[in-house]
Structure 1
Amino acid sequence: MLSFTQGQVDAWLALFWWPYLRIFGLMIVDPFFSSRSIPVRVRVGLSILLVLLVAPNLQPLPHIPVVSPQGILIALKELLIGASLGFTVRLIFTGMEMAGHLSGLQMGLGFATFYDPQHATSTPVVAQLLSLFMLLVFLAFDGHLVVLRALLESYAQLPIGPAPPGAGGLKLMADFGAFVFRSGVMLSLPVLAALLVTNLAIGVMTRAAPQLNVFAIGFPLTLAIGAGALYLSLPYLVPYINGFLGEITRHFLKLLRAFGG
């Protein structure tokens, strides 16, 4: 008859439970894996599969019971690390969505919104268009595989242990939030520049000929030029999105070092 000690049961649970929390933390925050089009059962199953693959290669885990105050703190730490890595990827997508917000606002389409099931809220149509474009290019460059590889390599960079996470990781996440505004403005600059010239031209026209109806001429003109500038700028956004993948990897490494103190 087989018999197991409490220490053996705790070791087996820790071998799969703590790594699972880091992976699942990324799955519930990452903009691709957390998509509502992917069922929860698929995400849970993928997390379990990744744990089964990565568990034999992990460094020796601390001999701490899973159901103990210290074990619960380790579980919360692993969940925080995984969610932080997923939040980094989400910030990259949010930068593209902000570019769509700025472009749509200047084109006069700020009122053109529809329900987005992904975010469970109303989203401007231009922001949704650029978000889908970002997702397609992200998948074309195997961005989801890059994120998974960086996640699995994080166990070597920051092993599972009882040490509390460094406060520098949270500060680094807050500082990286500035990337949203920087990338949003940078990606929307072609459309903003074209519309700025258009608005100046309309201002000169109405000044020279006051009888012109600026509302009847200006809105169709800004809409057409803004849509044309957006269409022409889409191919030039692809290299920037490819560079964002390198930005994700570099920020992952900085974040793990900051959490590790």
Structure 2
Amino acid sequence: MISLSSKELVGLIMAFIWPLTRILGLIAIAPPFGNSSIPRRIKIAFGIVLALIITPGIPPFINADPVSLSGVMILTQQLIIGLGMGFVMRLVFAAIELAGSMIGMTMGLGFASFFDPQSRGNTSALAQLLVLIATVLFFSLNVHHAMLIALMDSFKTIPVSMTLQNGFDFHRLAIWGEQIFIYGLKLSLPLIAALLLTNVALGILTRAAPQLNVFGIGFTITISVGFLILGMILPYLTLPIENLFQYGVETMQSLGKVIQHPLPPVVKPIPS
């Protein structure tokens, strides 16, 4: 008969609760797991299953009373780490949404917006189109597998402890926040440049033929050119989005200052 003391029982529970807290923090915010349309019970069940798989293979934890100040501190730190790792991947999709919003405003479709359950706000139709394309690529390129592998490796690079002195890199997380604007601009730049040339051409046409009602035909021309260019460049957006996913997973992996294991292959090539 197996007998456990109260101290050993508490240790086993904490060995499960602390990894579960980090996992649930990532699931709560990282797309697509953090989508509000997914029931909370499904998210919690998924986190428990991951914790049962990950816990036996991670380094041993320190002994701390769960109801003490140190135990609460460790629990809070694990939640912050999970939220930080999920926030990295959330910014990847935010950059894609920003690119779609910039394209929509340049085309004159800024008013075509609807409620987004992910961000719980109004987003443009083109932003949602790019997000749906990115979500398909997210699963087809196995980025969700790489994200879960990065989460498993984080227990080695950022071990469960009372301090984050040798683990979580908050500066790296803050620097990653600026990438939302850089990559959003890069993704939308080809179409913005094409629409800029279209507007310049319409301006020249207005000067050449003042009697022409540019306000009546300009809106139609801008939208038509926008959709035409978008259809032309859409197949070429696969590689930039793939690189953005790669960079996001690498950033999740590098949130631990000491990287012990190299990042495994993140994405599989798209079959031709």
Give TM class, smaller chain: over 0.9
* Partner Cα separation in structure 1 for residue 163 and residue 106 of structure 2: 49
Q: TM-score, normalised by structure 1?
A: 0.94
Q: Is 1:104 matched with 2:104?
A: yes
Q: TM-score, normalised by structure 2?
A: 0.90
Distance apart, 1:76 and its partner CA: 0.6
Unaligned runs of 5+ in 2: 259-272
Distance apart, 1:2 and its partner CA: 6.8
Q: Percent identity?
A: 38
* Partner Cα separation in structure 2 for residue 97 and residue 213 of structure 1: 34
* Partner Cα separation in structure 2 for residue 166 and residue 92 of structure 1: 26
* Partner Cα separation in structure 2 for residue 55 and residue 167 of structure 1: 19
Q: Is 1:199 matched with 2:195?
A: no
User: 1:93-120 CA distances to partner (integer Å, 9 max, x unpaired)?
Assistant: 0000000011000000011111222322
Output aligned runs, 1:73-92, within 5 Å: 73-92=73-92
Q: Which amino acid aligns with 2:124?
A: P
What is the SS of the residue equivalent to 1:28? Answer: helix
Unaligned runs of 5+ in 1: none
What is the SS of the residue equivalent to 2:257? Answer: helix
Distance apart, 1:41 and its partner CA: 1.1
Distance apart, 1:68 and its partner CA: 1.2
Tell me if the contact between 2:150 and 2:249 (Cα under 8 Å) persists in the aligned partners: yes
Equivalences, count: 259
Tell me if the contact between 2:116 and 2:122 (Cα under 8 Å) persists in the aligned partners: yes
Residue matched to 1:182: 182
Aligned residues: CA RMSD: 1.8
Distance apart, 1:194 and its partner CA: 0.8
Q: Which of 197-206 and 132-141 deviates more?
A: 132-141
Structure with more of its chain in helix, by fraction: 1
* Partner Cα separation in structure 2 for residue 248 and residue 122 of structure 1: 25
Tell me if the contact between 1:97 and 1:131 (Cα under 8 Å) persists in the aligned partners: yes
Q: Which amino acid aligns with 2:40?
A: V
Q: Which amino acid aligns with 1:111?
A: F
Q: Which amino acid aligns with 1:24?
A: L
Q: Is 1:125 matched with 2:115?
A: no
Residue matched to 2:268: none
Q: Which amino acid aligns with 1:138?
A: F
Residue matched to 1:148: 148
